[in-house]
Amino acid sequence: MIVRGTDRVLVMGITGKQGTFWTGRMQAYGTRVVGGTHPNKAGTMHCGVPVFATARDAMKGAGFDVAVLFLPPLMVKEAAVDAIEAGAKRLVVLTEHIPVQDVMYFVAAARERGACILGPNTAGAVTPGECFAGFMPAFNERIFRKGSIGVISRSGSLGVLFCLNVVQAGYGESAFVGIGGDPIIGTTTREALVALDTFPGTEAVVMVGEIGGSMEEEAADYARTMAKPVVAFIAGGAAPEGRKMGHAGAIVMGDKGSYASKRSALEAAGVTVLDTPSDVGAALRARLGH
Amino acid sequence: MNFEEHAAKPLLARHGIAVPKGGLARTPVEAAAVAEGIGAVVVKAQVPTGKRGKAGGIKLAATPDEARTHARAIIGMEIAGHKVEKVLVEEQMPIERELYAAVVNDPSSKGPLVMFSTEGGMDIEEVAATAPDKLRLQPVDTRRGFSHTDAETLVQGLALGADEGKVADALARLYEAYAAFDAELLEINPLIVTGDGRVVALDCKFVMDDCAIVRQPKVAPAGTPETLTGLEARAKAAGLKYIDLDGAVGVLANGAGLTMTTMDMIRHHGGRPANFLEIGGEAYTQAKPALELLLANPRIKSLVINFCGAFARTDVMTRGVIEAIEALKPGLPIFFSVHGTGDEEAIRVLKDRLGVTPLATMDDACKAAVEAAKISRR
């Protein structure tokens, strides 16, 4: 799930406050925004691009590859299905607090049509030097610089911290993939790892995980087979059991989803697991030799 | 949100799954009165947790008098940190066999997972480990649902004999209820077959998806909200995600991942976090009330403010923090780490208004706060 500079992007919910602000940022960075949607504002222009009533209309009127959704939780299911049925190949679902049954519904619809979902509850994706989709500070050169490190993160803010540390250590990112903090998400850690493993120009992957679920354990199974080094950090080692730590997906029940389980699975697969985010540069240097 | 057994079972009944006759009692007298109309009963503690039987929270009673005695013992009992305030008094059932049935949201298949086992009455993790051949799992496409035919296919070959059709029926109805009530887990353990061939839900565990509470206005009020401390309740009312912990170093950060990592780094540097408090997403404009909340916690001896802006603008968060500091003039050491969207502006206003420069890394800020907490006089 990597966005490219050549991708045509549709912003669903473009006229809202956040949709407007981040569309401007995406355009300034080089993202090819070709249109937006709002059910009652079809035919108008916003941020210099045409507004359509639906994704279906946008596909006919402008054509697009990626849909980015800036919509409130209870409106996402219908809009996502609209985008999928219109033929979107990738969807970036930023919204937090979408009912999980809605998420499972549009993830199933996407699977059937061969579309890929990033999120929900993601800050989006960045391909430095090309484009970004979502609300990441791609334009901040101390955080994003074109380079050879692929970064995967469940959390947007922690992803920013890791990208900052990667750049400070003298590296840059080939791509950033924010997969989202919800318990059920369209692109798992493992799937993002596969995408970065095969993404040209990627020499190593930094994987930023969290307690809860078993995605990091599943990703470890794939990391074991990779020639590229993987460096990981798992947030939440100091979190108490049985409480949701901000992200709906970040909860430990018994041993399931625990820090210890994830760390040992990753280490057994040859992944370098960091004690602190500040160590990421040194770990990359040790694994890459440059 | 968890639902206690007495609140969950009527939801099963609404979808045509049989449940034992019974009633809720808040006093021993009420328990006896419910038993009066039934006969031999079971008295069950109502708390939002499992393991009630082992804790002595489930007792059989042959007469109303006995029901009263058991209710007196159970009400007021503490089970896994929950005080028992009520009991469910239900008819005793003639159990022929105990089964297990559940539907759960499954991150691996990214959809609902129907689970069924002929080994009811024990933990499903235990069944998976010891008798995997008796456990059936079926991922479901939520757009199509899980029909009676799907259920029949799933339970085939498990030697259910003449009960197979009725069990499959209950399983299909369980899926219906799961979908109708936005469950993240709906579990019947045990689902029993009685001596006279009825299929009955003897227990029920229901967890509603918190994100769906807004669209379940008829059902949600029967749920049991999470037990909150005073500060947690105050935070929730203000729309903030706050969890009380037992350390002395306060944490204010944006985004769940960054906030957890700040707690981790405090521990890594030999300290203990006092709380989880994040103002990510739309809440990033709430830095002022968030900091006011933290300062109301007398256990906090020092504070880490860690902002990494993506969606959340660090300049907006920093201004909120400054307003709270200027208004309350807290006499405790505060250490900042500020990076990402809006950071240049944030660093400038911090210097202008508080004369403070953020530390270079969050590690530095956490380390400094841990040291400061040791000597703080607050």
Sorted by where each starts, the structural domains of chain B and their CATH numbers stand as: 21-91 (3.30.1490.20), 95-222 (3.30.470.20), 230-375 (3.40.50.261)
Mutate to test the interface with A, among B277, B339, B367 (most CBs of A within 10 A): B339
Name every chain A residue with its beta carbon within 8 A of the beta carbon of B209: 99-101
Q: What is the number of H-type helices and E-type strands within chain A?
A: 9, 14
At residue B377, what is the residue type? Answer: R
Tell me whether residues A157 and B309 touch, CB distance under 8 A: yes
Q: Is B256 on the interface with A (CB under 8 A)?
A: yes
Pick the closest to residue A265 from A169, A189, A175 (CA basis). Answer: A189
Residue A183 forms contact with B (CB below 8 Å): yes
| Cα–Cα distance, B219 to B207 (Å, whole number) | 12
Residue written as tokens 């259920």? B151
Q: CB-based contact (8 Å) between B340 and chain A?
A: yes
Q: Mean pLDDT across the stretch A142-160?
A: 95
Q: Which of B211, B232, B228, B229 is nearest to B220 (CA)?
A: B211
The residues facing B44 across adjacent strands are B58, B88
Mean pLDDT value across residues A179-194: 96
For residue B291, the number of C-alpha atoms closer than 13 Å in the C-beta half-sphere is 25
Encode burial over A241-275: b for 16+ CB neighbours within 10 A, e otherwise.
eebbbbbbbbbbeeeebbbebbbebbeebebbbbe
Per-residue confidence band for A244, with pLDDT thresholds at 50, 70 and 90: confident
Q: Are A99 and B211 within 8 A, CB to CB?
A: yes
User: Residue A248 above 80 pLDDT?
Assistant: no
B31 touches chain A (CB under 8 A): no
Which token pair is B174? 């369980």
Residues B107, A214: C-beta atoms closer than 8 Å: yes
Which residues in chain A have their CB less than 8 angstroms from residue B361's CB?
Answer: 278
pLDDT confidence of residue B272: 96
The predicted model gives A23-29 an average pLDDT of 97
The predicted model scores a pTM of: 0.93
- Are the Cβ atoms of A123 and B310 closer than 8 angstroms? yes
Residue pair B290/B279 in contact by the 8 Å Cβ criterion: yes
Given a cut of 80, is residue A161 above it in pLDDT? yes
Instruction: Establish, for the pair of chains A and B, how many residue pairs have beta carbons separated by less than 8 Å.
Output: 181
A186 CB neighbours in chain B (<8 A) are 110
Q: Rounded distance, CA A9 to CA B294, Å?
A: 41
Give the whole-angstrom CA distance, residue A7 versus residue A1. Answer: 12
Mean pLDDT for all residues in chain A: 95
- Is the CB of residue B341 less than 8 Å away from at least one CB of chain A? yes
CA distances in angstroms from A126 to A69, A132, A133, A150, A265, listed in the order given: 16, 4, 6, 10, 28
Interface of B with A in 260-319 (CB under 8 A): 260-261, 263-268, 273, 276, 278, 280-281, 308-312
* A-proximal residues of B, 7-26, CB under 8 Å: none
Is A135 in the B-facing interface, judged by CB distances under 8 Å?
Answer: yes
Residue of B nearest to A144 (CA): B340
Chain A nearest-CA distance from B235, in A, is 13
**Is the pLDDT score of A17 beyond 80?**
yes
Contact: A158, B110; criterion CB under 8 Å:
no
Q: What is the pLDDT of residue B54?
A: 86
When CB atoms are compared, the residue of B105, B212, B310 closest to A157 is B310
Query: Residue B151: helix, strand or coil by DSSP?
Result: helix
Which residue in A235, A240, A243 is closest to B261 by CB distance? A235
ipTM score over 0.90, yes or no: yes
Q: Which residues of A touch B105 (CB under 8 A)?
A: 100, 104, 183-184
**pLDDT over threshold 60, residue A253:** no
CA distance B96 to chain A (A): 32
| Interface probe, candidates B282, B308, B316, B362, chain A, greatest A C-beta count within 10 A | B308
Best mutation target among B104, B260, B337, B366 (most A Cβ atoms within 10 Å) is B260
Chain A residues touching B112 at Cβ < 8 A: 104
A87-96, A172-181, B288-297: least confident range: B288-297
In this predicted structure, the answer to whether residue A118 has a pLDDT above a threshold of 70 is yes
Residue-wise burial string across A31-68, b where 16 or more C-beta atoms lie within 10 A, e elsewhere? bbbbbbbbeeeeeeebbebbbbebbebbbeebebbbbb
Mean pLDDT of the A212-216 span: 91
Cβ separation A157–B243 shorter than 8 A: no
Q: Which of residues 206-225 of B touch A (CB under 8 A)?
A: 209-212, 214-215
Cα–Cα distance, B28 to B5 (Å, whole number): 19
- Give A31's contacts (C-beta < 8 A, 6+ positions apart): A3, A5, A7, A9, A131, A132, A133
Catalytic-residue membership of A97: no
Spell out the residues 6+ positions from residue B88 whose beta carbon is closer than 8 angstroms to its own.
Answer: B5, B6, B22, B23, B24, B25, B43, B44, B46
Local confidence band at A21 (pLDDT 50, 70, 90 cut-offs):
very high
Report pLDDT for A254: 58
pLDDT along chain B (378 residues), means of 10: 96 98 97 96 91 90 97 94 94 96 94 95 83 92 97 96 96 98 96 96 96 97 91 90 94 94 97 93 85 91 93 90 91 93 94 95 96 86
A157 closest CB neighbour out of B108, B254, B267: B254
Confidence bin at A56 (pLDDT 50/70/90): very high
- Give yes or no for A236 touching B (CB within 8 A): yes
Please indicate whether residue B265 or residue A253 has the higher confidence score (pLDDT). Answer: B265
Check A38, A46, A97, A247 and give the catalytic one: A247
- The secondary structure element, H or E, covering residue A80 is helix A76-86
Taking CB atoms and an 8 Å cutoff, what residues of chain A touch B369? none
> Could you tell me if B179 lies within 8 Å of chain A, comparing CB atoms?
yes
